[in-house]
Amino acid sequence: MAAGIIEINDSSFDAEVLKSDMPTVVDFWAPWCGPCRAIAPLLEELAGSYQNKIKIVKCNVDDNPITPGKFEIRSIPTLIFFKDGKVFEQIVGMVAKAKLEETIKKML
């Protein structure tokens, strides 16, 4: 995994996301999902440019059924932006980097 993006799981979700001291973006993905793999480089770039301002983490929906269930995820990629432990914004599907950046800026 590239620098800046850590892989979280059902048991680390609370600590890594809800109790995070930085706004956190969770990328719900799976290895079988083409669009998820396609947006991965964009997220890595953003993790680099917003280092120490936001945290970007990945949650594999195959290995972790509980967290995606809690947020009723039926479609991936889904990105959920968390601020102070609450959902700030949810983006479903592939979107342009500019749109992601815009959402990050709103959240900061």
Partner 1 sequence: MKKADYDLVIIGGGPAGLTAGLYAARARMKVIMLEKITPGGQILVTDWIENYPGFPEGISGIELVQRMTDQVKRFDLAVESAEVSALDVSQPIKKVTLTDGNEVTAHALIIATGASPNPLGVPGESKFSGRGVSFCGTCDGPFFRGKVVAAVGGGDTAVQESIFLTKFASKVYLIHRRNEFRAEKILQERAFANEKIEIIWDSVVTEISGLTNVEKVSIKNVKTNETRDLAVAGCFIWVGTRPNTQFVGDAIKVDENGFIIADVNMKTSVPGVFVAGDVRNTPLRQVVTAVGDAAIAVASAEHYLENLSR
CA separation for the pair 59, 82 (Å, rounded): 14
The answer to the question of residue 3 lying near partner 1 (CB under 8 A) is: no
59 is catalytic: no
Distances (CA, A) of 48 to 12, 34, 52: 22, 23, 9
The answer to the question of residue 104 lying near partner 1 (CB under 8 A) is: no
DSSP-based three-state secondary structure for 45: helix
The answer to the question of residue 62 lying near partner 1 (CB under 8 A) is: yes
The answer to the question of residue 70 lying near partner 1 (CB under 8 A) is: no
Taking contact as CB under 8 A, which single stretch among the options 11-19, 52-60, 81-89, 90-98 is the one that binds partner 1?
Answer: 90-98
Phi and psi for 35 in degrees, rounded to 5? -60, -30
Beta bridge partners of 83: 86
Q: Which residues are identified as catalytic?
A: 33, 36
The residues that touch partner 1, with contacts defined as CB under 8 A, are 30, 32-39, 41-42, 61-62, 72-78, 92-98
